[in-house]
Amino acid sequence: MTRTALVTGGNRGIGLEACRQLAGAGMNVVLAARDPERGEQAAQELRDEGLDVAYERLDVADSLSVEECARRLADAGTEVDALVNNAGVYPTEGVFSVSEEAFEMALEVNTLGPFRTCRAFVPMMLQRGYGRVVNVSSGGGSFGEGLGPAAYAVSKVALNALTVKVSQAVRGDVKVNAMCPGWVRTDIGGSGAPRSTEEAADTLVWLATLSEDGPNGGFFRDREPIPW
């Protein structure tokens, strides 16, 4: 049976590589991105590589956009088996210098975005008795590892808490986990980061394709648990 994965922020960085690897693993992939031109271009790039990838417009900061995306997919008969909450923003300012707008945007994209997509797609996973949710978090949202920049840290700590709450609300073969990709060469990570997007996507793909005896409600890097 061919499963379908939806990746938010799939047009570049870790999200684009996640789309490539998930499609390479034989899944149908919905590359979701907020900008139609950038999203369609990224999906075409992967189709040119022979992969099964379709673009859908999705701005995770806009609840209507999330609802409309879910409705379009449902109308087309597309069932999302794996949801990858990858879209993210990275305000780097300190707690006294970050603007309220930047703080709000971090919460909108990094925390409320996954809240919205989980509410749009997980109930249907529960109905079908199968689903995988991967929340792309960060060691910057881990108390155990030391928190990152103020707004980013708060948004990812809250994403980790959301991961636990959703994992506690599922049953059947539905698994909800968070992961940290490490420090990765993307617009967020910068060109000096040690990891490639290929390396970063490995744990993400593992969690998106877990077998029935896999973990639920965990936080992972390099396929190993890390502290909350």
The DSSP code for 184 is: B
Q: How far apart are CA 58 and CA 85, in angstroms?
A: 12
Provide the H-helix boundaries in 112-191.
113-128, 150-169
From the CB of 106, what's the least distance to ligand NAP, in Å? 9
Q: How far apart are CA 156 and CA 215, in angstroms?
A: 20
Secondary structure of residue 47 in the 3-state scheme: helix
For residue 215, how many other CB atoms are within 10 A of its CB? 14
From the CB of 172, what's the least distance to ligand NAP, in Å? 27
Q: Which stretch binds ligand NAP (CB under 6 A): 70-78, 162-170, 188-196, 215-223?
A: 188-196
Q: Indicate the length of the chain as a whole number.
A: 228
How far CA 60 is from CA of 104, 169, 173, 206, 211, in Å, comes to 13, 22, 26, 23, 28
Q: Are strands 82-85 and 4-7 parallel, antiparallel or unpaired?
A: parallel
Selected from 19, 29, 82, 87, the binder of ligand NAP by CB under 6 A is 87
Q: Which stretch binds ligand NAP (CB under 6 A): 12-20, 71-79, 121-129, 165-173?
A: 12-20
Is 55 noted as a catalytic residue in this protein?
A: no
Selected from 31, 61, 84, 153, the binder of ligand NAP by CB under 6 A is 61
Show the site string, 192-211: x = touches ligand NAP by CB under 6 A, - = not. Answer: -x------------------
Rule CB under 6 A: say whether 15 interacts with ligand NAP: yes
Rule CB under 6 A: say whether 35 interacts with ligand NAP: yes
Selected from 29, 46, 89, 174, the binder of ligand NAP by CB under 6 A is 89
Residues that bind ligand NAP (CB under 6 A): 8-9, 11-15, 33-35, 38, 59-61, 86-90, 109, 136, 138, 180-181, 183-184, 186-189, 193
Give me the active site residues, please: 152
